[in-house]
Chain A
């Protein structure tokens, strides 16, 4: 093994270590967010890491859907649908909870460090 071989070996080792570090460091904690989907499109992402209260509007199939963020929780406060199921549901805040406004094709999910992957009900 001559000198240049050794240098090459060290360089390769460093490259591999760097790649490993980048790959593993990506798995850091997710900041808590509410993700709002219309059909398959992400139309809004609400940061849930502070204590502020705010309202947001998105377009659903049957009209405007008004979403309220209150600290780390979100709820739907106004929407146009036959049974108003999603506005009656109240706040959600856990990663497995989901607000579904079926007639409006709007789904709101919480993205956070997960305790579970999915839920049956």
Chain B
């Protein structure tokens, strides 16, 4: 009889554990920030916690959206727009620590790449934007050089920057950076199974009921086909390409990613996709690789714990050494 009671207890334990596993539910969130549709999907076994997390995820993206916005100002915050356009008499501005950290992080990477990756080319981006919206013509070198006012940003410590109106652009980092913050937040909350897709930035944790996530890389040729499928868990996959937000004039397509060394859109390739653990680094790397030729990129990426796949202008696929281990 004792043995039977034990068996019954074991059976109930199994049943109960089955129940608690079943209680883990999928939560989905659609957000619209940074000019992008953002999709967050996570598994949690506590409804109240999940709802609270949804609100927090929304506010993390919202705060980075506002702080990195270079076209609009918001009450009570100093953002990229107001760093450039303010009539304060002060010698310095005190930033939200979140923005200060983001600037510090970006500048550090900028120095490591000898300014190839550059957050201070807002003036040049404005000129290109003007032509893209006009739908006609391209800027000449003189116009671009006049608008080029780099090397103004000075970090003073204690969240202070010099108030000399630098024209910054965080488009190449803010989405990946905010996505990394959201991923870290979910992990801190004990969530291991999640997927975040913020446009060209995907970050995944552990999958549910399968061995890995399958992340499709869309072909830059806009034909609905896939370059390849990346299989993995706890990774970030980030693409930089010439096919989103581009501008065609007289049969030539200009990408939205400006090469700081020429002031013209980069045209080394159609797209490059990076696999890293950290989505912020992934964002920085994909933009930087887009600004150099493939051979230089193959060398450059060896310095990082990352893999990449390039789609060349001739639709050839080139992979870094370890990329195929994800296919």
Q: Give the interface of A toward B (CB within 8 A).
A: 1-2, 5, 8-9, 12, 15-16, 19, 23, 37, 39-40, 92, 94, 96-98, 100, 102, 105, 107, 114-121
Contact = CB atoms under 8 A, between A and B. Distances in A.
B30 A120 contact: no
Bin the interface of chain B by size: 35 or more
A102 B224 contact: no
Main secondary structure of the interface of B (DSSP, over half): strand
A100 B29 contact: no
Contacts of A2: 1
Nearest to B35: A102
A120 B32 contact: no
B200 A121 contact: yes
A118 to B, nearest CB: 5
A19 B18 contact: yes
Given A1-B4, A5-B1, A19-B18, A117 B207 contact: yes
A120 B3 contact: no
A120 B200 CA distance: 5
A40 B195 CA distance: 17
B14 A120 contact: no
A119 B18 contact: no
B215 A117 contact: yes
Nearest to A2: B1
B32 to A, nearest CB: 6
A55 B224 CA distance: 23
A61 to B, nearest CB: 10
B8 interface: yes
